[in-house]
């Protein structure tokens, strides 16, 4: 698997908006989505967008007087890479260690465990 650069939280937040839109977006669209969530100004958002273009996560195209931004990096691919990296770095690639940490820290509920068991059962039948 190709090594994908990890995004800082702020840039990841911008990417989530672009992925969710699932189409070309403008900085104005992103600002609208961030309203009430972040207090970033337009210049800050434009700087994040420029960095995302530079890193190869999005592409920018001039349309009229605005730039439109489109995701190049697939969300599913990024999330899989981040999840694998997290598991390797913090839990030595042990899913059991991750689940135990969540369970012992009371972060994971009985309902979560049931959903996990159902997921495993469903995927072992198919696999």
Q: Which residue has the higher pLDDT, 58 or 100?
A: 58
Residue 19, classified by CB atoms within 10 Å of its CB into exposed (0-12), middle (13-18) or buried (19+), is middle
Please give the helix or strand (H or E) that residue 69 lies within, else none. Answer: strand 66-71
Q: How many CB atoms lie within 10 A of CB 44?
A: 14
pLDDT in tens, 54-86: 999 999 999 999 999 999 999 999 999 999 989
Domain that holds residue 48: 9-71
pTM for this predicted structure: 0.79
Query: How far apart are alpha carbons 39 and 8 in whole angstroms?
Result: 17
For residue 127, pLDDT beyond 60: no
The helix/strand/coil state of 38 is: coil
Instruction: Say if residue 65 is in the same domain as residue 79.
Output: no
Instruction: Say if residue 61 is in the same domain as residue 89.
Output: no
Q: Which residue has the higher pLDDT, 49 or 106?
A: 49
Residue 53, classified by CB atoms within 10 Å of its CB into exposed (0-12), middle (13-18) or buried (19+), is middle
Query: How far apart are alpha carbons 39 and 5 in whole angstroms?
Result: 26
Whether residue 4 lies inside any domain: the answer is no
Instruction: Say if residue 48 is in the same domain as residue 88.
Output: no
Place of tokens 């337009």: 42
The average pLDDT across 81-104 equals: 90
Report the helix count and the strand count for the chain, using DSSP H and E: 6, 2
Number of domains comprising the chain: 2
Which tokens in the block code for residue 71? 């995701």
Q: What percent of the chain has pLDDT over 70?
A: 96
Instruction: Say if residue 19 is in the same domain as residue 55.
Output: yes
Q: What percent of the chain has pLDDT over 90?
A: 73
Whether residue 92 lies inside any domain: the answer is yes
């Amino acid at each position: 698997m190709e090594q994908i650069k990890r995004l800082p939280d702020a840039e990841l937040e911008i990417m989530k908006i672009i992925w969710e839109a699932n189409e070309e977006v403008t900085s104005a669209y992103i600002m609208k989505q961030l309203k009430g969530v972040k207090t970033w100004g337009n210049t800050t958002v434009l700087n994040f967008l420029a960095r995302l273009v530079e890193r190869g996560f999005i592409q920018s195209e001039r349309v009229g007087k605005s730039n439109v931004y489109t995701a190049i990096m697939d969300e599913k691919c990024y999330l899989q890479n981040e999840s694998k990296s997290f598991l390797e770095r913090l839990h030595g690639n042990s899913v059991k260690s991750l689940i135990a940490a969540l369970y012992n820290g009371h972060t994971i509920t009985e309902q979560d465990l049931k959903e996990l068991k159902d997921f495993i059962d469903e995927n072992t039948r198919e696999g």
